[in-house]
Amino acid sequence: MGAGHDHGTEGMSDARLIWAVIVNVLLTVAQIAGGVVSGSLSLIADALHNLNDAASLALALFARRISRRPADKLMTFGYGRAELVAALINLTTLIIVGLYLLGEAVSRYLSPEPIAGWTVVIVAGVALAIDVVTALLVRSGARNSLNIKAAFLHNVSDALASLGVIVAGTLIILYDLYVADLAVTVLIAAYVLHQGLSLMPRTVRLLMGAVPDDVEFHSLVSALQAAEGVRGVHHVHVWSLDEHRRALEAHLEVGDGTLREIEEIKEDVRRMLASRFRIEHATLEACFADARVHETGIVPAESGSAAAGQGR
């Protein structure tokens, strides 16, 4: 039911995430040392921000390992949604970081603070290089996993912040162009907020068991009704077990037939669901259409998808 699935981060080993965490922790130590030497509180603050990136990567790694646990009597569908929980946490903190950057940009523009020499710019350059290395370590896993992508975006936001320190710091030191700090920080904050807010709705929908984004419910019902041997359907439910696995349950109305014939109809439907809608876990219950109409008085199958939606 959920054992061993890792579709979203195929091709990326846990070792890459572990190295990304280690590199970011080392960067944090270097930034704190640089902040102490230069007397820059802003550099120490950036070090704490980078520590948050390390924490987000560690959370992604922890959730990834939890998601591989097999189904048990507590989690009968498995632990795949652990990665979605981690993604939600990391996206929430990413949005908070974006809002913080906006507030900090306005605050510093209204009350400019002196840049503590070229030391800050140089250390920011080192931070940028390490952020790029970290991004390369986890980029492959971010393509198909919301969990890894959320952690990856934390790293990208920090890389952009380091780039902003280099550009804005240089312009301020050379030309006293303090507006550069405001402009660069606002652009970075806008990017961070856009990424966080664009991924948040999908993450929430997955956690709430919504119909998968690429599945049109009425098309799914029509496909079920068009299957050979099926006279109608009702009580159709489809949802995501995790980011890459879907499940469905439905009642199929069939005509008279042997148990073997009914099972063949159900197997044909399962193959259709797997090939057309990528639904690998389908629970189908068969009932006789005539008995359903006569004994329960429920609307006949000819009423179409309106009947199929009952119980949703």
- Per-residue pLDDT of 51-78, as tens digits, reads 878 888 899 999 999 999 998 999 988 8
Q: pLDDT grade, residue 247 (50/70/90)?
A: very high
Verify that 144 and 243 share a domain, yes or no: no
**Quick one: which of 289, 212, 220 has its CA closest to 245?**
212
Q: pLDDT grade, residue 35 (50/70/90)?
A: low
Question: Which of 207, 237, 272 is the endpoint of a domain?
Answer: 207
Q: What percent of the chain lies above the pLDDT cut of 90?
A: 30
**Is the predicted pLDDT of residue 7 greater than 80, yes or no?**
no
DSSP-based three-state secondary structure for 258: coil
Provide the domain count of the chain.
2
Residues 142-149 have a mean pLDDT of 86
Instruction: Tell me how far CA of residue 174 lies from CA of 65, 90, 113, in angstroms.
Output: 49, 37, 15
Q: pLDDT grade, residue 301 (50/70/90)?
A: very low
Question: Which of 153, 186, 207 is the endpoint of a domain?
Answer: 207
More confident residue, 214 or 144: 214
Residues 74-84 have a mean pLDDT of 90
Verify that 112 and 20 share a domain, yes or no: yes
DSSP H or E segment with residue 231: strand 230-240
- Residue range 11-29, pLDDT digits in tens: 567 888 898 888 888 878 8
**Is the predicted pLDDT of residue 202 greater than 80, yes or no?**
yes
Residue 195 within a domain: yes
- Residue range 215-226, pLDDT digits in tens: 999 999 999 999
Verify that 56 and 180 share a domain, yes or no: yes
Verify that 42 and 122 share a domain, yes or no: yes
More confident residue, 126 or 281: 281
Residue 301 within a domain: yes
What pLDDT score was predicted for residue 156?
85
Longest dimension (CA), the chain: 87
Q: How many helices (H) and strands (E) does the chain have?
A: 10, 3
Verify that 294 and 146 share a domain, yes or no: no
Residue 128 within a domain: yes
Verify that 71 and 131 share a domain, yes or no: yes
Burial 207-243 (b: 16+ CB within 10 A, else e): eeeebbeebeeeebbebbbebebbbbbbbbebbbbbb
**Is the predicted pLDDT of residue 88 greater than 70, yes or no?**
yes
Instruction: Tell me how far CA of residue 173 lies from CA of 33, 34, 119, 190, 296, in angstroms.
Output: 22, 18, 12, 25, 81
DSSP H or E segment with residue 203: helix 179-207
Residues 202-211 have a mean pLDDT of 93
**Is the predicted pLDDT of residue 285 greater than 80, yes or no?**
yes
Verify that 295 and 173 share a domain, yes or no: no
Instruction: Tell me how far CA of residue 147 lies from CA of 61, 89, 247, 259, 275, in angstroms.
Output: 9, 9, 21, 44, 26
Give dist(CA 22, CA 6) in Å, integer: 23
What pLDDT score was predicted for residue 278?
94
More confident residue, 288 or 273: 273
What pLDDT score was predicted for residue 83?
93
Residue 23 belongs to domain with CATH number: 1.20.1510.10
What pLDDT score was predicted for residue 312?
42
Average per-residue pLDDT for the chain: 81
**Is the predicted pLDDT of residue 297 greater than 60, yes or no?**
no
What pLDDT score was predicted for residue 290?
60
- Dihedral of alpha carbons 247, 85, 4, 73, sign: negative
Query: Taking the CB of residue 150, how many other CB atoms lie within 10 A of it?
Result: 30
Residue 152 within a domain: yes
Verify that 192 and 263 share a domain, yes or no: no
Verify that 76 and 192 share a domain, yes or no: yes
Residues 141-164 have a mean pLDDT of 84
Residue 2 within a domain: no
Instruction: Tell me how far CA of residue 50 lies from CA of 107, 121, 157, 162, 198, in angstroms.
Output: 21, 16, 10, 10, 23
Range of the domain at 221: 217-308
Measured at the alpha carbon of residue 226, what is the angle toward residues 222 and 230, in degrees to the nearest 5?
Answer: 115
What pLDDT score was predicted for residue 97?
84
- The pTM (predicted TM-score) of the whole model is 0.76
What pLDDT score was predicted for residue 275?
94
Verify that 166 and 252 share a domain, yes or no: no
Residue 286 belongs to domain with CATH number: 3.30.70.1350
What pLDDT score was predicted for residue 225?
93
DSSP letters, 65-91, are HHHTSPP-SS-TT-STTHHHHHHHHHH
**Is the predicted pLDDT of residue 99 greater than 80, yes or no?**
yes
**Is the predicted pLDDT of residue 272 greater than 70, yes or no?**
yes
Verify that 125 and 230 share a domain, yes or no: no
Residue 1 within a domain: no
Residue 109 within a domain: yes
Verify that 49 and 197 share a domain, yes or no: yes
Residue 212 within a domain: no
Question: Which of 207, 232, 252 is the endpoint of a domain?
Answer: 207
